[in-house]
Amino acid sequence: GAVVSQHPSRVICKSGTSVKIECRSLDFQATTMFWYRQFPKQSLMLMATSNEGSKATYEQGVEKDKFLINHASLTLSTLTVTSAHPEDSSFYICSAREGPKLSGELFFGEGSRLTVL
Amino acid sequence: AQSVTQPDIHITVSEGASLELRCNYSYGATPYLFWYVQSPGQGLQLLLKYFSGDTLVQGIKGFEAEFKRSQSSFNLRKPSVHWSDAAEYFCAVGGGGRRALTFGSGTRLQVQP
Residue among B44, B97, B103 minimizing CB distance to A102: B97
Q: Mutate which of A106, A107, A112, A115 to test chain B, going by most B C-beta atoms within 10 A?
A: A106
pLDDT, tens digit (0-9, with 9 covering 90-100), for B6-59:
999 999 999 999 999 999 999 877 788 999 999 887 888 999 999 888 999 999
Amino acid A28: pLDDT: 86
Amino acid A1: pLDDT: 63
More confident residue, B74 or B100: B74
Amino acid A17: pLDDT: 97
DSSP lists the bridge partners of residue B25 as: B4
Alpha-carbon gap, residue A52 to A30, rounded angstroms: 8
| pLDDT tens, per residue, chain A with 117 residues | 678 999 999 999 999 999 999 999 998 888 889 999 998 878 899 999 988 888 899 999 999 999 999 988 889 999 999 999 999 999 999 998 876 665 556 788 999 999 999
Q: Assess whether pLDDT exceeds 80 at residue B96.
A: no
Amino acid A68: pLDDT: 96
Amino acid A116: pLDDT: 97
Portion 48-107 of A in contact with B at CB < 8 A: 49, 51, 91, 93, 95, 97, 100-106
Alpha-carbon gap, residue B35 to B89, rounded angstroms: 7
Amino acid A72: pLDDT: 83
Exposed / middle / buried, residue B91 (Cβ in 10 Å: 0-12, 13-18, 19+): buried
The CB-side HSE value for B8 (13 A sphere, CA atoms) comes to 18
DSSP lists the bridge partners of residue A79 as: A21, A69
Is residue A43 within 8 Å of B104, Cβ to Cβ? yes
Alpha-carbon gap, residue B74 to A38, rounded angstroms: 23
Amino acid A104: pLDDT: 58
CB contacts, 8 Å: A46 with chain B = 100-102
Reported as type and span, the H/E element at residue A99 is none
Q: Does A113 touch chain B (CB under 8 A)?
A: yes
Tell me the C-alpha to C-alpha distance, in Å, between residue A16 and each of A20, A25, A73, A117.
Answer: 13, 30, 28, 9
Tell me the C-alpha to C-alpha distance, in Å, between residue A110 and each of A6, A94, B15, B38, B39.
Answer: 6, 8, 28, 10, 11
Amino acid A69: pLDDT: 95
DSSP lists the bridge partners of residue A33 as: A50, A96
Amino acid A31: pLDDT: 82
